């Protein structure tokens, strides 16, 4: 359910784009982002950093898209978001006691200490790659805006799922099996 909530603005952007155009979709995404942050605050009396960062970027880049009637501004948003995440993951290698991926996952997964920095760098590289891939699809001249909108929803989310599955296989080699607490009586 949290996954759907996090992608609520993207999903509404996609629907509005298919029904109208990029400018209506951008306005819908801005409104949806405000609703997302407001709803989360009403439910939890706090805001998530990712939602706030996304809101700020959609207001700035989406606002520029609407003011200048230029879709190129909104096409930069996924790249900027992914690159910010990449920088945060890289920075966490040097700031704080643990990489950010370890802080997010260690309560659910126990891994050897030397694996966390590798996993963290993998996520950083993935986010930076997604940012460049978005630029390629958005601005290379090989794809139209329809293709970019489809890529933004299906391509980026699909690639993220594939990366998560690959990550699961990678960390699966290092996860320690819980020791059995069953004691067998010898006959």
Task: Reduce the secondary structure of the chain to three states and give it as a string.
Answer: CHHHHHCHHHHHHHHHHHHCCHHHHHHHHHHHHHHHHHHHHHHHCCCCHHHHHHHHHHHHHHHHHHHHCCCHHHHHHHHHHHHHHHHHHHHCCCCCCCCHHHHHHCCCCCCCCCHHHHHHHHHHHHHHHHHHHHHHHHHCCCCCHHHHHHHHHHHHHHHHHHHHHHHHHHHHCCCCCCCCCCCCCCC
Rounded distance between C-alpha atoms, residue 125 and residue 119, angstroms:
10
Rounded distance between C-alpha atoms, residue 56 and residue 72, angstroms:
17
Residue 30, token pair as written in the block: 């801005």
183: Cα within 13 Å, side-chain hemisphere: 1
Domain residue extents for the chain: 1-70, 71-175
Scan for tokens 């603005």, then name that residue. 9
pLDDT of residue 79: 97
Average pLDDT, 10 consecutive residues per value, the chain (187 residues): 74 96 97 94 90 92 97 96 96 93 90 93 98 98 97 94 95 75 52
Rounded to 5 degrees, what angle do the CA atoms 37, 38, 39 make? 95
Scan for tokens 């290092």, then name that residue. 174
Give how far Cα 57 sits from Cα of 74, 106, 119, Å: 9, 30, 27
């Amino acid at each position: 359910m949290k996954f759907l909530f996090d992608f609520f603005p993207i999903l509404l952007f996609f629907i509005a784009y298919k029904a109208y155009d990029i400018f209506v979709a951008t306005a819908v995404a801005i409104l949806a982002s405000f609703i997302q942050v407001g709803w989360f605050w009403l439910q939890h009396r706090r805001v998530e950093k990712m939602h706030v960062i996304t809101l700020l970027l959609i207001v700035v880049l989406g606002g520029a898209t609407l003011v200048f009637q230029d879709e190129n501004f909104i096409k930069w948003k996924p790249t900027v978001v992914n690159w910010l995440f990449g920088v945060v993951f890289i920075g966490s290698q040097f700031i704080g006691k643990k990489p950010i991926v370890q802080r997010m996952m260690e309560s659910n997964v126990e891994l050897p200490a030397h694996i966390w920095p590798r996993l963290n760098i993998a996520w950083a590289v993935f986010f930076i790659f997604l940012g460049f891939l978005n630029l390629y699809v958005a601005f290379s001249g090989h794809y139209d805006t329809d293709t970019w909108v489809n890529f933004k929803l299906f391509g980026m989310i699909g690639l993220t799922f594939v990366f998560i599955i690959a990550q699961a296989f990678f960390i699966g080699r290092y996860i320690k099996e819980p020791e059995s607490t069953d004691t067998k009586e010898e006959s």
